[in-house]
Amino acid sequence: MPPSAGPRTHGKAPVISALAAGLIVSAALAMLLHRMQQREERDAVQQMAEDRANVLRSAVVRSMEVLHSIKAFYDARPEVSRGEFATFVNPALARQPELQALAWDPRVSGTERAGWEARARQEGFHDFAFTEEAVGGAPIPAGNREEYFPVFFLETLERNIGAFGFDVSSEPTRRVALEKARDSGQATATAPIRLKQERGSQKGFVVFEPLYRGPAGTVAERRRSLTGFATAVFRIGDLVEIPLRSSGGREPAISILDEARHETIYHNGTEVDRRAGAWSTPLEVAGRRWRLQFTPAPGLHSIVSEVLPLVALGAGMSISVLLAGYLWTSGRRIEESRQA
């Protein structure tokens, strides 16, 4: 065997070892950076979602406080006129545009119906009558019943005229929430519905706050003492979009699921970035449980998060190859020196 064969074969070992170690370290570093970027993006999505969820919770709480204040107003005054009601609620409507309407729905017995309809006509609403929905959704005069809960005071009237005089107890979804509010003494939201005043396809909901005169400590007492409801009306899109206008930047994809019905009741139409993680949180709305889900839009996904691990891998591989080349060249020089 020539004298140089053994040393040259032996000199390949450190070169191969250095190259393999460099590639392994580079791959491990790229994977670590990728996981760190994913974690940072998930944290960013969660922080963004939490901020917006808190904004929506604040909007719901503010709206519920308006209802509570109307209840306190009626508790303090045995009689409230239409003008007094408008004066009391219009500042809240101006401050909180997510409120579609505020109303008072009195409890009216069947024998009192004619008197209440006449009262409204004397106040200038010459065509006023208690109404209900026909099969196709058109308003028709309400049928004969033992009691009614008509929308009697309504602000603002101009943009909600379609609901004026509507007997909310005549529609099953509203009646379920109305009876639950009556018996519990708590503000109660309906399931998502199409509002009487809605001209588009957007869903809404109504919150009923029960009003009583006299003892109301038990269910039986509440049913006897009930005088009507303070009512807040919401369009779901307005409740979500108006408070978030001030948050700035490109909004994430937002979906709302009504957990009782397992139904998506709102989506803001933003395209979803499937590469990024989603975050969800519950939202309580007057006894009804929703789930908010936030997913980043494609423009919110960071290009750096994709490139950086690849750059690290490429840089590590380049350094490994250069180091292997250096060791190979050095080994050859040492071997040539030995031969010389």
Q: Are 292 and 254 in contact (CB under 8 A)?
A: yes
Predicted pLDDT at 316: 56
Q: What structural domains does the chain harbor?
A: 52-241 (3.30.450.350), 249-298 (no CATH)
Q: Which residues of 298-322 are buried (b: 16+ CB within 10 A; e: fewer)?
A: eebeeeebeebbeebbeebbeebee
pLDDT for 47 equals 72
Q: What is the pTM of this model?
A: 0.74
In the prediction, which pLDDT does 252 show? Answer: 73
Q: What is the pLDDT of residue 277?
A: 63
d(CA 5, CA 171): 97
147 half-sphere exposure, CB direction, 13 A CA radius: 14
Structure tokens at 318: 């380049």
Instruction: Please name the amino acid found at residue 238.
Output: D
Residue 77: its pLDDT value, please? Answer: 87
| CB-neighbour burial class of residue 247 (10 A; exposed 0-12, middle 13-18, buried 19+) | exposed
63-94 residue pLDDT tens: 899 999 999 999 998 789 999 999 999 999 99
Residue 281's pLDDT is: 87
Contact 285, 257 (CB under 8 A): no
For residues 292 and 278, is the Cβ–Cβ distance under 8 A? no
Query: Residues in the chain with pLDDT < 70?
Result: 1-23, 25-30, 32-45, 199-200, 246-251, 269-277, 297-336, 340
Residue 171, Cβ neighbours under 10 Å: how many?
17
Place of tokens 């545009």: 97
